[in-house]
């Protein structure tokens, strides 16, 4: 894979993680963000992650340096015009993503695959704004990307078999396990996970048990490594609410109705671990 080039759009937790695993697998990576400070933070996240891997003796220091050398940061989309694959990992807003895909379609070579790391939005709709819908596909990585093995691979209505096979091969080259799912709201992971989290929030909202008790039941009784309320904090309560709203609107079924307590927390700025307070408070 030494001569293959990838572009990653977005430098948040997911974008930085995706860039890291691509570079670690010998891809030359262009990491893009409009904001230079965000770019610096993204590169810093990658360096921190790789240094931890060196400390744990999972990789050698020379491998860390080689991985970092393969990553080029940029604020210009045109620097990825010769990329073989572009993976978008920006804010979960369909209109914003569609604008990015329109621009990429005009800039990136016609043979390139355009992938989205969206956790819930329609791949078919993203593909519809391009002239290459057959080359648009979903690659939903799990967080933290360097650690988690699963990648949901989502085929839109127009995604070709050739594109799917190529993405399957790329995913495996990253040491990940690709799982094919159809293009429905929330795919598989969030269609199952988010209603469970939402129901846990309802249990708290209705006073059935304390947050600690609800999490303890799921950890000790269901062998979950983390309770649903704590997990919601780590995912981000705004993200949880967004996905529940996508499910509610997409299926038109009230079983996906977001809990009022979740809405209240988000409106109050209690977004979880990233702001140091959600269902729990964090130092």
Give the model confidence (pLDDT) of 247-281 as tens digits: 999 999 999 999 999 999 999 999 999 999 999 99
Question: Is 77 in the same domain as 119?
Answer: yes
283 within some domain: no
| Under 8 Å between Cβ of 138 and 153 | yes
51 within some domain: yes
- Across the range 226-243, mean pLDDT stands at 97
With 0-12 / 13-18 / 19 or more C-beta atoms within 10 angstroms meaning exposed / middle / buried, residue 220 is exposed
Question: Is 160 in the same domain as 235?
Answer: no
> Residue 172 catalytic?
no
Domain limit, last residue, from 166, 182, 198: 182
Catalytic annotation, pick one of 24, 49, 116, 140: 140
Catalytic annotation, pick one of 49, 116, 152, 198: 152
Catalytic annotation, pick one of 24, 116, 190, 198: 190
> Residue 122 catalytic?
no
C-alpha dist (Å) from residue 122 to 114, 118, 138, 146, 182: 14, 8, 9, 25, 10
Question: Is 75 in the same domain as 158?
Answer: yes
The pLDDT-based confidence of 152 (bands split at 50, 70, 90) is: very high
Domain count, the chain: 2
Question: Is 95 in the same domain as 154?
Answer: yes
Question: Is 93 in the same domain as 225?
Answer: no
Is pLDDT at 2 greater than 90 in this prediction?
A: no
Q: What is the CATH number of the domain that holds 143?
A: 3.40.50.720
279 within some domain: no
> Residue 119 catalytic?
yes
Tokens of 272: 């979880």
> Residue 273 catalytic?
no
282 within some domain: no
Question: Is 151 in the same domain as 228?
Answer: no
| Under 8 Å between Cβ of 32 and 185 | no
Q: pLDDT tens digits for 162-211?
A: 999 999 999 999 999 999 999 999 999 999 999 999 999 999 999 999 99
Average pLDDT, the chain: 96
Question: Is 9 in the same domain as 145?
Answer: yes
| Cα 14 from Cα 46, distance rounded (Å) | 11
Is pLDDT at 3 greater than 80 in this prediction?
A: no
Is pLDDT at 217 greater than 80 in this prediction?
A: yes
Question: Is 210 in the same domain as 130?
Answer: no
The pLDDT-based confidence of 283 (bands split at 50, 70, 90) is: confident
Catalytic annotation, pick one of 24, 119, 122, 198: 119
| Under 8 Å between Cβ of 8 and 56 | no
Position 29 scores a pLDDT of 98
Question: Is 143 in the same domain as 240?
Answer: no
Question: Is 164 in the same domain as 27?
Answer: yes
Please report how the helices 228-235 and 189-205 are oriented relative to each other, as an axis angle in degrees rounded to 10.
120
Domain limit, last residue, from 160, 182, 204: 182
Domain limit, last residue, from 182, 201, 226: 182
50 within some domain: yes
Residues whose CB is less than 8 angstroms from the CB of residue 160 and which lie 6 or more positions away in sequence, other chains included: 134, 135
117 within some domain: yes
Position 62 scores a pLDDT of 96
12 within some domain: yes
Question: Is 220 in the same domain as 162?
Answer: no
What is the span of the domain harbouring residue 195? 190-274
The pLDDT-based confidence of 1 (bands split at 50, 70, 90) is: very low
Position 15 scores a pLDDT of 97
281 within some domain: no
Position 128 scores a pLDDT of 98
Q: pLDDT tens digits for 55-72?
A: 999 999 999 999 999 999
Read off the pTM.
0.93
Question: Is 95 in the same domain as 226?
Answer: no
């Amino acid at each position: 894979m030494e001569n293959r080039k990838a572009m990653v759009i977005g430098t948040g937790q997911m974008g930085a993680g995706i860039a890291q695993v691509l570079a670690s697998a010998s891809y030359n990576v262009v990491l893009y963000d409009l904001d230079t400070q965000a770019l610096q933070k993204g590169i810093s996240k990658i360096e921190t992650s790789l240094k931890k891997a060196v400390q744990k003796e999972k990789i050698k220091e020379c491998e860390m340096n080689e991985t970092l050398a393969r990553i080029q940061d940029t604020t210009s989309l045109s620097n990825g015009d010769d990329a073989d694959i572009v993976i978008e990992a920006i804010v979960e807003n369909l209109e914003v993503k569609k604008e990015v895909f329109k621009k990429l379609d005009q800039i990136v070579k016609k043979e390139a695959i355009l992938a989205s790391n969206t956790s819930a939005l329609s791949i078919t709709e993203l593909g519809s704004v391009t002239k290459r819908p057959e080359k648009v596909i979903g690659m939903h990585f799990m967080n933290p990307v360097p650690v988690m093995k699963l990648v949901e691979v989502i085929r839109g209505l127009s995604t070709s078999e050739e594109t799917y096979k190529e993405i399957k091969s790329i995913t495996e080259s990253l040491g990940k396990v690709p799982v094919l799912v159809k293009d429905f709201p929330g795919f598989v992971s969030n269609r199952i996970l988010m209603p469970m989290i939402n129901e846990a929030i309802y249990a708290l909202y209705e006073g059935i048990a304390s947050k600690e008790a609800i999490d303890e039941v799921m950890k000790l009784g269901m062998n979950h490594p983390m309770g649903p309320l704590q997990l919601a904090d780590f995912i981000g309560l705004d993200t949880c609410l967004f996905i529940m709203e996508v499910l509610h609107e997409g299926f038109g079924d009230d079983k996906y109705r977001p809990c009022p307590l979740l809405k209240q927390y988000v409106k109050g700025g209690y977004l979880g671990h990233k702001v140091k307070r959600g269902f729990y408070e964090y130092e």
